[in-house]
Structure 1
Amino acid sequence: MVRNDAVPTVRDVAQLAGVSPGTVSKALNGQGQLREETRQRVLDAAEKLRFQPNRVARSLSEGRTYTVGMLTSDSFGRFTLPLMEGIEDSLGAGQVSTLLCDGRGDPLRERHYITELLNRRVDGIVVTGRRPDARRTVGRLPIPVVYALCRSDDPGDLTVTMDDEQGARLAVEHLAALGRTRLAYVSGPQHHLSTRLRQQGFERAAAGAGVEVADVLLGHWSEAWGRTAAGLLARRPEGARVDGVFCGSDQIARGLTDGLREAGVRVPVEVSVVGFDNWDVMVEAARPTLTTVDPGLVRLGRESASRLLTAIDGGEPGQGVVALPCRLVLRGSSVPT
């Protein structure tokens, strides 16, 4: 048994678990065809001895550094942080480290960070940003690259993102199920891909549900624009007013519900409102709280990292765009109580 003042070794773990050192290595690295009972016995022994693998020796023997780079343009962190949470979930707690680099959308800064990541011999890179819009590819690198949320402009690259159209469809189907028949879409700038995809999903779903698209208002990703749009909708003639609104973001939806309330329109009694993002800062602080479409950013991060690991291990991660489905989260802004 290992002495109290000694650093535990693989042999100490093997002795305590009653297996060979080779079996310990396979169990800790998730390799080999081991019985679950054997693998668990090794893990329990390692935990009891507080065994820490020698990462330098492991890296040298396997030709890997067990680090992954994450290049983002999302300085605010609204999208990067949940994506990183999912990425680290897939990479395994403490098994693979993540190096976060903020390129701020500057091509020169991004190129500098890519060079630094390559110099640090990272095993792969996840590229992400603020929006699902297409962005310039980082080019052909000697290591695997996966794009998360933002889309590479090279169809040969792999992008894992949200299904904006499907998310919009969830919102419209919910509003139609509530008996809402005159709907409006209020969103951000038209040149943003997410605005166009959500509008496309909104209009197709409305046609399928047999409800009227009464208005489409495009402006900015802000609460101020939501309040302005609310004023425009509230001033529509009595017989032409909308009774359901799908907003392209929770920021817009929060401003819109405030604006409707100020105009004397009751939400959700007279107008049901659905947002997009499930951003807790917005949805919980809104009055009423916001029903919204959750794009599943953490899950998106997990899938991106999982596919990157597949590529690092020599597998085929795929190419093109993989759009993951969204889910609807019900709160007070859509369902009268």
Structure 2
Amino acid sequence: MATIKDVAREAGVSVSTVSRVINDNGYVSDDKRKNVLNAMDILGFRPSNIARGLVSGKTYTLGLVIPDISNPFFPNIARGVEDEAIENNYNLILCNSDWKIEREDMYISLLIEKRCEGVVLVGSRSLESDLLKIIGKMPFVSVDREMVQAGHSVWVDNELGAYTATKHLYEMGYRRVVHISGPTSARTAKARLAGYMQAVEEFGHHEPQIVESDFRRSGGYEAAWKILEQEGSHRPDAIFAANDLMAIGVLQACEKLGIKCGTDLGVVGYDGIGSGAYTSPTLTTIFQPGYEMGRRACQLLLEEIVNPSKRRIKEVFNFELLVRSSTQRMTEE
């Protein structure tokens, strides 16, 4: 492997000149800079981020902590963060917390040890005060959760999205809507539950019914089985699941039970993952622009790294109700 000394020899300049070009620090004439860059190209020399960091104090590395790598919504956010990072010559370390606060804390500590310049936190469940103690002075951006005390935030109004999803079920003729919520420790789950409750209060003629689950497909399947075993007037005719994975679990339970979704039972999910367009029936959902949210979060993080005193930005993205076959209009009796 070529070294910085090899580059200096090939370019006919000193090692310190090569160092100034690599780190973009200090004056170098245009001719010498061109010679150094040509020499690096000829020798296939790629400067080490670690070595550059020793000089500049920068590692050109960002961290990303997501709660569930198996949920397609979060890798979609990760793609947005990664694409923006790469375009700005940054590397990205991806961490999966598996919805565990202690694992999230562990990864944040690890990213600090690795001298990451900043971190994007997706769907964090930690108390904000606890999070700030762990993260210290490292710049961060929160995605899918609003931060009050520090850090930039990028999210969709989950309460309004859930309200819209539940309202849609009533507008389509369904009369008894049950909500399969995420874990109550998750702020997104609390917000979506609040949106459901508001819609039931405004449009429903029944008491709210909530079954808490875990944001996973198996959890949605098990919750749906429990709900749909009810008989008579207590049995719901619609389910709003707090994310698409659980909604897909509901569709699978219905298939096993011989229940026809859309007519016998309306089903709405949340997130807008790609597979919802290919389920049977296709899934009505609240679409969140995860990729765009990820890119914007990375942009805000890089801006804060350059200018730590920059005013904190809280940016709310728009959601979209995607109406598909799982909520086709019922025939009134």
**Residue-by-residue CA offset, 1:279-326 (whole Å, 9 max, x unaligned):** 334x24532121112222212112212222332342765448644332
Structure 1 residues 290 and 315 mapped into 2: Cα distance closer, same or farther (>3 Å)? same
TM-score normalised over the length of structure 2: 0.68
Q: Does 2:332 match 1:335? A: no
* Distance in structure 2 (CA, Å) of the matches to 1:273 and 1:80: 22
Q: Does 2:108 match 1:110? A: yes
Structure 1 residues 303 and 229 mapped into 2: Cα distance closer, same or farther (>3 Å)? same
Structure 1 residues 226 and 114 mapped into 2: Cα distance closer, same or farther (>3 Å)? same
- Measured after TM superposition, the shift of residue 146 of structure 1 is 1.9
Structure 1 residues 213 and 333 mapped into 2: Cα distance closer, same or farther (>3 Å)? farther
- Measured after TM superposition, the shift of residue 171 of structure 1 is 0.6
* Distance in structure 2 (CA, Å) of the matches to 1:80 and 1:226: 18
Is contact 2:217–2:246 with CA below 8 Å preserved after alignment? yes
Is contact 2:85–2:92 with CA below 8 Å preserved after alignment? no
- Measured after TM superposition, the shift of residue 161 of structure 1 is 2.9
Structure 1 portions without partners, runs of 5+: 1-49
1:146 is matched with 141
Is contact 1:126–1:304 with CA below 8 Å preserved after alignment? no
**Residue-by-residue CA offset, 1:106-129 (whole Å, 9 max, x unaligned):** 445532321222xxxx6x412324
SS in 1 for 2:214: coil
Structure 1 residues 108 and 251 mapped into 2: Cα distance closer, same or farther (>3 Å)? closer
Larger helix percent: 2
Is contact 2:146–2:153 with CA below 8 Å preserved after alignment? yes
Is contact 2:244–2:270 with CA below 8 Å preserved after alignment? yes
Structure 1 residues 98 and 208 mapped into 2: Cα distance closer, same or farther (>3 Å)? farther
User: Percent of aligned pairs with the same residue?
Assistant: 20
Is contact 1:146–1:304 with CA below 8 Å preserved after alignment? yes
* Distance in structure 2 (CA, Å) of the matches to 1:178 and 1:150: 30
* Distance in structure 1 (CA, Å) of the matches to 2:279 and 2:96: 32
| AA of the residue aligned to 1:112 | L
SS in 1 for 2:114: helix
- Measured after TM superposition, the shift of residue 241 of structure 1 is 3.0
**Residue-by-residue CA offset, 1:3-27 (whole Å, 9 max, x unaligned):** xxxxxxxxxxxxxxxxxxxxxxxxx
Structure 1 residues 98 and 174 mapped into 2: Cα distance closer, same or farther (>3 Å)? farther
Q: Does 2:292 match 1:299? A: yes
Structure 1 residues 204 and 173 mapped into 2: Cα distance closer, same or farther (>3 Å)? same
- Measured after TM superposition, the shift of residue 265 of structure 1 is 2.4
SS in 2 for 1:76: coil
1:35 is matched with none
- Measured after TM superposition, the shift of residue 328 of structure 1 is 1.9
| AA of the residue aligned to 1:273 | V
Q: Does 2:170 match 1:194? A: no
TM-score normalised over the length of structure 1: 0.68
State the number of aligned residues: 278
- Measured after TM superposition, the shift of residue 331 of structure 1 is 2.1
**Residue-by-residue CA offset, 1:133-156 (whole Å, 9 max, x unaligned):** 235234332x5322233566x712
Q: Does 2:149 match 1:155? A: yes
1:97 is matched with 90
Is contact 2:173–2:329 with CA below 8 Å preserved after alignment? no
SS in 1 for 2:183: coil
Structure 1 residues 109 and 230 mapped into 2: Cα distance closer, same or farther (>3 Å)? closer
Is contact 1:168–1:202 with CA below 8 Å preserved after alignment? yes
